[in-house]
Amino acid sequence: MITRLEARAEPREVAGSGEGVVVDRVSRSFGALKALDGFCLRVAPDEFVALVGPSGCGKSTLLDLVCGLSRPDEGSISAGEAVLMPQRDGLLPWLTAEDNAGLALRVAGASRTAAREAARLHFASFGLEGFERAHPGELSGGMRQRVAFLRTLLAGRPVLGLDEPFGALDALTRARMQEWLSVTLGREPRTTLLVTHDIEEAVLLADRVVLMSPRPGRVVAELDVKLPRPRVRSDPAILALRERAMAVLER
C-alpha cells in the first residue's frame, strides 16, 4: 500500500544529462529470509532520493542490487552505472588518503601517480588539505567519510549509492557532514540513493524521501521535499515533514 503524502502526477520525466534508476517489482531473498518483495522505485536523473526504514528492511540489499553487486530473484533493475559507498567507509588502511581517493581511477587503468594526482586536486575543496599522505588510521571519522566520498565521486559514475554514510559519526560531525554533502552535490549533481535510518538526515538532504516497511521491504509512503537549499534543521517545514514521516513509520 503506497500513500502519496505529496500528490504528484506522473513519474518524473527523464531530464538532465545524468541517468536515473528504475527498480521494477524486485524481490530478493537470502535463504528463507525475504529482504525485498515486489519493490518498485523510480529515481530521475540527478534526483536525490533517501530511503528510510527500520533496520533489516532491505535498504542495503537494494543498494547492492542497484550497484550491480547482486542480482534480483525476480523483477528488473535498469540504472546508469552506479558506484557504492558502503556503510563503513571501506577505506584501505595500507593506502594513503590520496591513494584511497584515487582507487577507482587505478582500477580504471590509470597509473598510481596519475590516480594520486587526480585525487589530490580535490583535497582542498574537500577540506582534506595537508592530509594527502595520511593513512586512514590517522584520520578522524568525518575526514574518513570525506575521503570515501571523494573516492566514490572520482569513480565518475552517474549514480551514487550511499549506505548510511554518516551512521557512525557523532552528532556534531554528522550535522557538519550533512551540510557539506548537500553543498558538494549541489556543485556536482548526481543521481543519488541515500540509505539512512535518520529521518532528519533524509529530509534535510533529499529531493524525495521513500519510507520503507519492515522486512520484506516495501514502499510505504513517499514524501516530496520541495524546500530550497541550504536547509536548516530548525525550519518549521523540515520539522513538519519529519513529524509526518515519523507518524507513517510508527503506524
Q: Which residues bind other proteins (CB under 8 A)?
A: 64, 67-69, 82-94, 103-104, 106-108, 135, 137, 151, 155, 161
Smallest gap, in angstroms, from Cβ of residue 83 to other proteins? Answer: 5
Query: Which residue in 119, 115, 165 sits closest to 142, CA to CA?
Result: 165
Residue 148 near residue 165 (C-beta atoms within 8 A):
yes
Smallest gap, in angstroms, from Cβ of residue 99 to other proteins? Answer: 10
Comparing CB distances to other proteins, the nearer of 163 and 207 is 163
Smallest gap, in angstroms, from Cβ of residue 151 to other proteins? Answer: 8
Q: What is the DSSP annotation of 169-187?
A: S-HHHHHHHHHHHHHHHHH
- Residue type for position 149: F
Smallest gap, in angstroms, from Cβ of residue 108 to other proteins? Answer: 8
Smallest gap, in angstroms, from Cβ of residue 33 to other proteins? Answer: 17
228: cell is: 530550497
Residue 62 near residue 48 (C-beta atoms within 8 A):
no
Comparing CB distances to other proteins, the nearer of 107 and 239 is 107
Comparing CB distances to other proteins, the nearer of 37 and 99 is 99
Comparing CB distances to other proteins, the nearer of 103 and 241 is 103
Helix residue spans in the chain (DSSP H): 59-66, 97-101, 103-107, 112-120, 141-154, 171-187, 199-205, 236-250
181: cell is: 554533502
Comparing CB distances to other proteins, the nearer of 20 and 86 is 86
